[in-house]
Structures are given as C-alpha cells and as structure tokens.
A and B are shown apart, each in its own frame.
Chain A
Amino acid sequence: MTSTGTIGTRVLGAATLVALAITAVMALVVSPPDVVQGDAVRLLYLHVPTAWVAMYLSFGITTLASALYLWRRTRSRFWDLVAGASAEIGVVFIGLTLVVGSIWGRATWGVWWTWDARLTATAVLFVLYAGYLALRRVPADPQVRGQRAAIAALAAFVDVPIVHYAVEWWRTLHQSATFLDEKRLTDPTIHGSMAWTLVVGVVAFTLLYAWLLAHRFRVGWLADRLEDEGLERALAERRAEAELEEV
C-alpha cells in the first residue's frame, strides 16, 4: 500500500500545525486576561474560529457543492463527496462550538445553557445538518442518494435565515435584553494582541478545515472506488467459477 497523501496536503498539514501552535501560544501566553472575565476570555480564541468554520465555511461550501451537483453541466461525484465531507466537518465544529460555548457560559454566566437567540439558532442548525448526514448514510444507490442529499442540503440552507429570524424575534419580543452582553464580546473595538490572536485563530482553523476537507474527501472517494471494484471483482470471480464448471 502506498500513502495517498500528496505534497500539497502535507504542506497544508504542516502549515495547519504551525498556525495552531501559534494560536495556542498567542491565546494562552501573549494575549492578556480580560478585565471582567479573567482567563475565561481565552475560550474566545477557540469559540469564534470553530463557529466561523462550522457555520460559514463548511455549510457554505456544502450548499455550493450541492448546487453544483444538481446543475446538470457540473454534475459529478466530486461535488457530492465535497458536500458530504464539508457537512461532516461542519457538524463536528458546530458541536465543538456548542461545547466550548457551554463551558464558557458556565464560567462567565454561571449556567451551561441559556435560551439566547444565537445559541438556539446554532442548536437548530446542528440538528438540521445532523439530519442531512443521516440521509447521506442511508443505504441506497449512490446516484439516488447524491441527488436527494443535494436537494436536502439546499432545503436545509433556505431554512437557515428563517430559523435565524424566528429565534431572534422569539427572544427579543419577550425580553428586551438578555444578561448575555454579546455586543461586548464581538465588539470590533477590541484591541491589540486580542484582535490579532483572533485573526490568527481564524486563519489556523480555516487551514485545518481545508486539510480535513482534503482528507475526508479522499477517504470518501476511496470508499467509492472500493465499492465499485469490489463489485467488479465479485462479478469476475463468479464468471471464472462458471467457466470452470463448464470445463
């Protein structure tokens, strides 16, 4: 067996490792503790990049790849596999976002969970795409499954803005302000090393996403080929057996 890695993915992997190491050093050592939150603020450097990878990058690429799969001129297994691989990474990262956010919430607000608009929307998004992954795992003809998965991805995508507005209204029509002051956390006026750490973190996790996507895609592609070749081999063996019997 030969390795299926290429120079490109190895360089990407090395760059990801370096970027993650820099993020860790900047997040844990260089950046100062927050005036209000203390060291708990360091979770920000994990929370924001995972959320970025999950919600914008992964699901964005899943949607794009699904649309390209459905469009007749660009239809190929390639886009189906990309959509599936990207959604899988997205679900893992959105799970991480929820877990890290929950730990952070416990540390700063004293509760694991609050029915804040953004949290609720994220949780709905998590199950929405978990359902999409479940559909992809159903045993069926790859063509049928690819077509249905692509349509399901688009159907889930059009739901995202509706979910967003629904939960936003739900929480704001009833109570004017939650005790979660998100403005302060995402305020663009955070300065210096904190902002830089965040930027480096986002870059590092974007690289990690690209590396994971390349490998997940490759695994999917190999699994596909294995299935095809297994079938052909079985056919050839049966044929050989039949020939032997004839002789």
Chain B
Amino acid sequence: MWRDAGLVAGKDLRIELRSRVATNQVAPFAVLVLILFAFALDPDRGVLARAAAGLFWLAVLFSALLAIQRAFAIEAADGGRDGLRLSGLDPAGIFLGKAGAVAAELAVLEALLAVGIVVLYDVSLHGAVLLVATCLAATVGLAAAGTVYGMLAAGLRVRETLLPLLLLPVVAPVLLGATRASEAALGLGTDSGWPWVQLLAVFAVVYVGFGVVAFGPLLEES
C-alpha cells in the first residue's frame, strides 16, 4: 500500500513539475486572492492584519479547489483513470498517493501564502510550532477530504461546479479550526490554539480513514 502510494504521489508530482500548471496558475491565483482581499477590506484600519488568519485559510481553500480539480483532470484524458484501475495498484495506496501529492502542493502553497500575508498584511509570526502543527493537520485533512470528493465528482459532466458545492461545507470545520489556531499563532486571538489543532487532527484522521476504505468502491465502478 505504501509503495503504491509513493508511486502515485511521485507520478502526480512529476506531472505538476513538468506541466507547471501549479506553479504558473494555482500559485499566482493564491497571491491574487490575497491582493483582492486588500481591495475588498480597508488596508489602512488594520482590518487586514486582524483578519489575516482567516483570509490566509480562505486563500488556501480556494487554491485547494483548483489543485484538487487539477489532480483529477490529469487522469481524465487518454483513459488515465482506466489505466490506474487496471494497474493492479491498491486503491488505498492510490488514494494515499493522490492525497499525498495534493498535500505536498498545498504545503508549498501555504509557505508562499505565509510569506504573502507577512509582506502584504503586515503580520508577524509568533508561535512557530503551533503554526506548523496547524498547517500540517489542516493540510492533511483538506487533501484527504478533497481527494475523496474529487474522486466523487471525477468524470461527471458538471464536476467543475459540483466540487466546490460538495467540498466547501465539508471542510468548513477545517477553515474554522485552522483560522482560530492560526490566530493564536499570530498573536491575534486570546485563547490557546491547541484544542483547534486537535480538532483538525481528528478531521484529518477521519477523512484519511474514510478515503482508504471508500476509494476501492469509488474506483471500481465508473
């Protein structure tokens, strides 16, 4: 299972490295979102700095949608999904591989966005450990839930509009938890961020487990 996961993740990441869609489209989009937030909110009154954590995670969420759509679009052409199905790889391994690749892309994106909010929104990072733990748990959760729903919508005619509607309510707790925990890490909130990290970890475990079990039936039917 782990070997298969490594193979699939390697394949997806290699495609992203070579096609440069993630670097040329998704990453600039994420930065664009940060700039648009500045237009929507008044940058002079400190609104941006106070809302920085929430805006950061919203930008991650929107970019994650693109990354997930992309992760399944690359297999839509040339019967890629049939190839994957016939490859004899463990479905759980395929799930972990795809989710792992999405998580890796998101992690890079988060690093970029973190620099973005420090530079553009004038916030300073306080609790580095808390921030890293938050990003780790939230990223795994987002990638796992995203991969499950990406597969649910894959191959359907209306997938581009269906995926956000399906995925965003499910990951609402991730947005909530990651925002609160990051606020604490940025020194904006009053409460400790660790209970939220626990919630994010529970979410991640639940959806990784769900994906491992559900990916077999999802892969075999369509």
Inter-subunit contact B172/A144 (CB<8 Å): no
| Range class of the B interface residue count | 20 to 34
Instruction: Please judge, given known A-B contacts A128-B169, A166-B177, A173-B180, whether A135 and B217 are in contact too, CB under 8 Å.
Output: no
Within 8 A of A (CB), among B127-175: 145, 148-149, 152-153, 156-158, 162, 165-166, 168-170, 172-173
Inter-subunit contact A124/B166 (CB<8 Å): no
Instruction: Please judge, given known A-B contacts A151-B217, A162-B202, A162-B206, whether A174 and B191 are in contact too, CB under 8 Å.
Output: yes
Chain A residues, Cβ within 8 Å of B153: 135
Q: Does B51 contact A (CB under 8 A)?
A: no
Q: Does B2 contact A (CB under 8 A)?
A: no
Chain B residues, Cβ within 8 Å of A169: 180, 195-196, 199
Return the contact of B158 from the options A138, A144, A156, A174 (Cβ within 8 A): A138
Q: Mark A128-147, 1 if CB is under 8 A from B, else 0.
A: 10111011001110011001
Q: Does A70 contact B (CB under 8 A)?
A: yes
Q: Does B44 contact A (CB under 8 A)?
A: no
Q: Mark A162-189, 1 if CB is under 8 A from B, else 0.
A: 1101110110011000000000000000
- Report the bound CA distance from A142 to B144 in whole Å: 26
Inter-subunit contact A130/B218 (CB<8 Å): no
Instruction: Please judge, given known A-B contacts A135-B162, A138-B162, A163-B172, whether A147 and B217 are in contact too, CB under 8 Å.
Output: yes
Q: Does B24 contact A (CB under 8 A)?
A: no
Inter-subunit contact B199/A138 (CB<8 Å): no
Inter-subunit contact B217/A144 (CB<8 Å): no
Inter-subunit contact B166/A131 (CB<8 Å): yes
Inter-subunit contact B166/A151 (CB<8 Å): no
Q: Which of A130, A147, A148, A167 has the most CB of B within 10 A?
A: A148
Distance of A69 from chain B, by nearest CB (Å)? 11
Inter-subunit contact B214/A162 (CB<8 Å): no
Distance of B35 from chain A, by nearest CB (Å)? 28
Inter-subunit contact B169/A127 (CB<8 Å): yes
Instruction: Please judge, given known A-B contacts A134-B165, A139-B157, A173-B180, whether A151 and B214 are in contact too, CB under 8 Å.
Output: yes
- Report the bound CA distance from A131 to B156 in whole Å: 14
Instruction: Please judge, given known A-B contacts A144-B221, A148-B152, A174-B191, whether A165 and B165 are in contact too, CB under 8 Å.
Output: no
Return the contact of B162 from the options A127, A128, A134 (Cβ within 8 A): A134
Inter-subunit contact A70/B217 (CB<8 Å): yes
- Report the bound CA distance from A93 to B79 in whole Å: 42
Q: Does B222 contact A (CB under 8 A)?
A: yes
Inter-subunit contact B218/A148 (CB<8 Å): yes
Query: Which residue in chain A gives the minimum CB-CB distance to B168?
Result: A127
Q: Does A155 contact B (CB under 8 A)?
A: yes
Query: Which residue in chain B gives the minimum CB-CB distance to A174?
Result: B191
Within 8 A of A (CB), among B193-215: 195-196, 199, 202-203, 206-207, 210, 214
Query: Which residue in chain A gives the minimum CB-CB distance to B149?
Result: A155
12 new A-B contacts, CB < 8 A, other than A131-B162, A131-B169, A135-B162, are: A124-B172, A127-B169, A135-B166, A138-B162, A140-B156, A140-B157, A147-B221, A152-B149, A165-B173, A166-B172, A170-B176, A173-B180
Please name the 6 residue pairs, one residue from A and one from B, whose CB atoms are nearest each other, closest first.
Answer: A166-B173, A128-B169, A131-B166, A127-B169, A131-B165, A147-B221
A-B contact pairs, 29 of them (CB 8 A): A124-B169, A127-B165, A127-B169, A131-B165, A131-B166, A132-B166, A134-B162, A135-B153, A135-B162, A138-B156, A138-B158, A139-B157, A144-B221, A144-B222, A147-B218, A148-B218, A151-B148, A151-B217, A151-B218, A152-B152, A152-B166, A155-B145, A155-B149, A155-B152, A162-B173, A162-B206, A165-B173, A170-B176, A174-B191
